[in-house]
Amino acid sequence: MTNIANVNLLLVDDEEEFITTLAERLGIRGIRCRTAFNGEDALKAVEADVPQVMILDVMMPGMRGLEVLERVKKSHPQIQVILLTGQGSTQDGIEGMRQGAFDYMIKPLNLDTLLNKISEAMAAQGNKG
């Protein structure tokens, strides 16, 4: 399993309580991450410091997750994106994977599964150089 303690991670979701609590839990596990609460801020955060892995909600108001994904993959194809979907929007997750997302997960999350996916995403990024 790839060591994820030093991952440059960006969490993007309009549900602020969800994403800040998740960031805090990851912090307890030694993983520092940045957060953005909408697509526009996410793109700015990417330009300010290119993350290795991005956790991205697909159902956000304003710029939707799949649009953010498209733009990010165009400008920084090396970023591995893990999409967050609800049960009713798994089709978006599948579509996102077609557009280059690394994987998708359904809310509510299982933290151990998320950590494994981040590790796999980092390994995949390493392979891409």
Partner 1 sequence: MKETEFLGRVTAIVMHDLQNVLAIIKEASGLIDDLLPMSKGLEPKRRDQFQHNLGHIKEQVDRGAKFTELLNSFGHSMEDCPEGADLESCARQIAFLSQRFARMKRIEFLVDPAEERQRVPHPRFQVMMAVFAVMEACLQELPALSKVHIRAEAVNHAPGLCFHWPDVLHGEDLALPIAAHTQGQNAGNLPPNAKVTSGERNASVCLSFA
When asked if residue 37 is in the footprint of partner 1 (CB under 8 A), the reply is: no
Q: How far apart (Å, rounded) are the C-alpha atoms in residues 105 and 85?
A: 6
One residue of 50, 97, 109, 124 binding partner 1 per CB under 8 A: 109
Stretch that binds partner 1, among 11-19, 33-41, 44-52, 64-72 (CB under 8 A): 11-19
One residue of 88, 98, 128, 129 binding partner 1 per CB under 8 A: 88
- Strands (DSSP E) along 1-129, which ranges? 9-12, 33-36, 53-57, 80-85, 103-106
Interaction residues for partner 1, span 60-79 (CB under 8 A): none
